[in-house]
Amino acid sequence: MANISIKRHWIFLASLSLLLVAALACGDDSGGGASGRSGGDQDAFRTFSGVSDNATATAEAASGAAAATAAPAATAAATAAPATGSDSVVPSGEATIAVNQVNAGVGTPRFCTAGCAEDVYVAGIMETLFRPVYGDTLGAKAEEAVLALSFDLDPDLVYLDFELRPGVQFHDGWGEFTAADVVFSFNDANRNTQPESIHGQAGDFAPLIKNFEVIDDYNVRMYYENYDSRGIRHRFSTFWQSAGITSVALYDDKGAEGMRDFIVGTGPYKNISWIQADSIKLEAVPDHYRQTANVAKITLLEVPEASSRRAMLETGQVIMAQPALADWNTLAAAGFDINLDSGHGTIRNIGMTGNWWEDNRYYDDKVLERETSDKAWVSDTNSGDDYEAARLVRIGLAHAIDRQALVDSILDGWGDGPMYFAYQPPNAHPITQSHSGDYVDPSRGGDGGAGGWAYPVDFDLAKEFITEGGFADGFDMSNVWTGPPGLTQELMTAIGGIWAVELGVNVTLNNSVYSTYRPGLVARTTSEPFVGCGDDSNTSMPYDWARGFVMSSWSDGGYGVGMEIPFAADNYAKVALMTDKDERNAANEAFSEKGIESALCIGLVHEPVGTLQNPDLVAAYEKLPQANGNLQQFVNLESLKLK
């Protein structure tokens, strides 16, 4: 365990200083503030099929360092189908699991907003076409077949064909699953094919997926709007953000409005009750085709406060939960098991929003209308004196963060250490190692992002940069969104305190729930920084995946990170089409170099994402690799066994 006492006085001073300048909005802990296999070489991605040997993969070592330093995934060429369901398992017993948030549950894809879109399949009610192999946090294996048995990629990258599993039944007698259900579920969610869709991935699907079409009952074709090399794990698996498959027969019977209350899928669990901000109650499906669940009834209970989740875990009111990271060591010493099977970790960072530099949407030249705010860290364009002044301010802020102190104190020694850019590789990655020296800005005669990536802590240097940017006396940074009380708020409280003392930067915080902050990101009106810079700021995603989507106009119409940056748009466009993994890594390295030099998504620390479970109550639980944070990653609940 890290030596915490050395830095305690520093954190206390930082927190005390910010109390004089921070006005905190009311809210509760959503666990928000942020959120595999490589897309693969083209030949490996093109086709696969396989039959499972039902072997159980071994999980990575259960340590923060192991989870945090995963190398990029190797390309896999074949998949294994999951276990076949049978009557040998008879579900029994009941369990309650604490989660930070229960989003609204809606059965109609077009109305299933952010959170709902993922919850329906993370909970095991709906299923996706594929899912990761247990223990494969590096993405070395192809995804397991779930509702799709195989896929075949058009050599010209125009379409992707899926062969579907026959004989699967929807819950509550809504018929057999066929290609029509896949077409409905994706097309009703996709803004391209359903303009009224507010599905959580409506805006993300639109630039990538033109539409789905039925070939026959058990074959379906997806046409690309723009090909994306990230492949199956990215958009068609539980690993990330996909569409849960529901019944078109239900839609035909109830209509879009009438279907809202019918959350129906093909998963190992059926929905019994779904109450937003309260609970989801699940019941095991007997003789499920894939894997019959061991536990008969599960309640996913919303418990917003991390301290309350810890208390409920300690008293046995819940069998599993995600307490605050600062509690992990204490709970582990008391005998609780830490589950890091998902391999997920988040690079906590500060997004310097308000920099709208693209005039036209990258992929179709649509004119973009954005309002540029008058902020110290914002510029009208990505060139000229105004740009350089704002860049120097951002670089100054980046130098005024004691990242190791944050790791030692707030993270209690967990994670992968200091981080400097939201989309950099883990610290053990060869690319990061090649940039292990201190960053020296080109304005000081250095190589910038092409050199070292570590911004050394230097308050005098930080003050020089901010002064050169035109703000010798500091400036106000109001309404910085951190999400409800938790790690992100603690990080920004400490950083803001130091910035106030050393730089005259007066920070006030907004800890409202994510649902109140997100609309400004979608509408492109946000101009205050937030603790986060998009979906790819986590180390569970292979480094060769295309980066820059949410940092650019590619995401226009959906979630973005408060900026639209030409070099980010260009990087995504190039890497999404690259079929060679080494080329993708090299392009993303150049993107990281530019990100370090621009200081638009200033990295802070790496936070491992895990849950704790009571070994007196839990006999086994195989959490799948996961980059999604929904329901605190309690995916694959059918594997849960009680004592």
d(CA 120, CA 267): 10
Q: And the tokens for 636?
A: 């694959």
What does R_g of the chain's alpha carbons equal in angstroms?
24
456: Cβ–Cβ under 8 A, 6 or more apart, which residues?
399, 438, 439
Phi-psi region of 312 (alpha: psi -120 to 50; beta: other; left: phi over 0): alpha
Number of residues written out for the chain: 643
CB-neighbour burial class of residue 383 (10 A; exposed 0-12, middle 13-18, buried 19+):
exposed
Q: At what angle do helices 487-503 and 459-468 cross, to 10 degrees?
A: 70
- Domain ranges in the chain? 5-30+345-608, 42-304
Phi and psi, residue 468, nearest 5°: -65, -25
Which pLDDT score is estimated for 297?
98
Domain 5-30+345-608, what fold? Dipeptide-binding Protein; domain 3 (3.10.105)
| Helix/strand/coil percentages in the chain, nearest 5 | 30, 20, 50
End-to-end CA gap in the chain: 31
Closest CA to 626 of 119, 201, 228, 283: 119
Which pLDDT score is estimated for 85?
52
Q: And the tokens for 333?
A: 């010493």
Q: And the tokens for 487?
A: 């790690």
Which pLDDT score is estimated for 338?
97
d(CA 273, CA 548): 38
List, in sequence order, every residue forming a beta bridge with 271; answer none if it has no partner: 282
Residues of the chain with pLDDT under 50: 1-84
d(CA 440, CA 449): 8
What SS3 class is residue 510?
strand
Reported as a single tens digit per residue, the pLDDT across 366-407 is: 999 999 999 999 999 999 999 999 999 999 999 999 999 999
Which pLDDT score is estimated for 629?
87
Residue type (1 letter), 204: D
Which pLDDT score is estimated for 181?
98
H or E stretch covering 477: strand 475-481
For the domain covering 42-304, report its CATH number. 3.40.190.10
CB 302 within 8 A of CB 100: yes
Cα-based torsion angle of the residue sequence 88, 94, 98, 101 in order, rounded to the nearest 10 degrees: 80
CB 224 within 8 A of CB 206: no
Which pLDDT score is estimated for 536?
81
CB 519 within 8 A of CB 203: no
CB 605 within 8 A of CB 417: yes
Phi-psi region of 423 (alpha: psi -120 to 50; beta: other; left: phi over 0): alpha
Which pLDDT score is estimated for 78?
32
Reported as a single tens digit per residue, the pLDDT across 40-78 is: 333 333 333 322 222 222 222 222 222 322 222 222 233
Reported as a single tens digit per residue, the pLDDT across 328-353 is: 999 999 999 999 999 999 999 999 99
Which pLDDT score is estimated for 87?
58
d(CA 162, CA 152): 7
CB-neighbour burial class of residue 601 (10 A; exposed 0-12, middle 13-18, buried 19+):
buried
pTM of the model: 0.75
Cα-based torsion angle of the residue sequence 580, 581, 586, 588 in order, rounded to the nearest 10 degrees: 110
